[in-house]
Amino acid sequence: MIAAAPGATPAIPLIELSAVTRVYGTGLAAVAALRGVDLRIDRGDFVAVMGPSGSGKSTALNILGCLDVPTGGSYRFAGVDVGRLTRDQRARLRRFQLGFVFQGFNLLGRTSALENVELPMIYRGIPAARRRMAAREALAAVGLAGWEDHTPGELSGGQQQRVAIARAIVTAPTVLFADEPTGNLDTARSREVMTLLRGLNDERELTIVMVTHEPDVAAFARRTVHFVDGLVQSDRPN
């Protein structure tokens, strides 16, 4: 990290976890998924999160994505203490600042690629003409110009994930969370998707936080954070 000039105000991290814990259950049945996690992610970073099953990586991603809340510690997003937000405020942050890509694509099967990409804009009340234009631009950005009218069943797995990425970026999120985005893809399609994500990070400076168990996929990121037993074991540049 480059040191700030004398008298300059240090940049506020986009994401900052401080001593975050997450405990499920109570008493003898309590399970500590996170046991005091500290993590900082700056704007424009691309972080791969790795670790064995049960290490806490998915729990951490759920907290970062405002899908879960910590039991203790603090999560700050762009300087805002997320723990102090109401449920509705967290939902608004999730809707307007965050994008999500999952292993299973989560596309509507009988709906065209264009209509799938339009979905998040419908929830924002964006007029139809603007939705269509933005969806076409997003599909073109992921290399699917000309495929707008195809349904998921008419697309390969790699193309379906590209549609899912277009849907995630169409609203210009501040950060994209990707949970095993290549888990259902073969090696060639995985490389295509990861090259696309790295390009979005390089060209648009889109902040990406990705959970993966594959070292060759993690190598596309700028940093790799390893979780073990609910703690960050290592945090290294790639």
Residue 10 included in any domain: no
Residue 135 included in any domain: yes
Residue 65 included in any domain: yes
Domain count, the chain: 1
Residue 143 included in any domain: yes
Residue 171 included in any domain: yes
Sequential pLDDT tens for the chain (238 residues)? 445 556 656 688 999 999 999 999 989 899 999 999 999 999 999 999 999 999 999 999 999 999 999 999 999 999 999 999 999 999 999 989 999 999 989 999 999 999 999 999 998 889 999 999 999 999 999 999 999 999 999 999 999 999 999 999 999 999 999 999 999 999 999 999 999 999 999 999 999 999 999 999 999 999 999 999 999 999 999 9
Task: Tell which residue, 27, 86, 65, 16, has the closest CA to residue 178.
Answer: 65
Residue 7 included in any domain: no
Residue 3 included in any domain: no
Residue ranges making up the domain that contains 22: 15-237
Residue 70 included in any domain: yes
Contacts for 102 with CB less than 8 Å, ≥ 6 apart: 164, 178, 179, 180, 181
What 3-state DSSP class applies to 131?
A: helix
pTM of the shown model:
0.92
Tell me the CATH number at 162.
Answer: 3.40.50.300
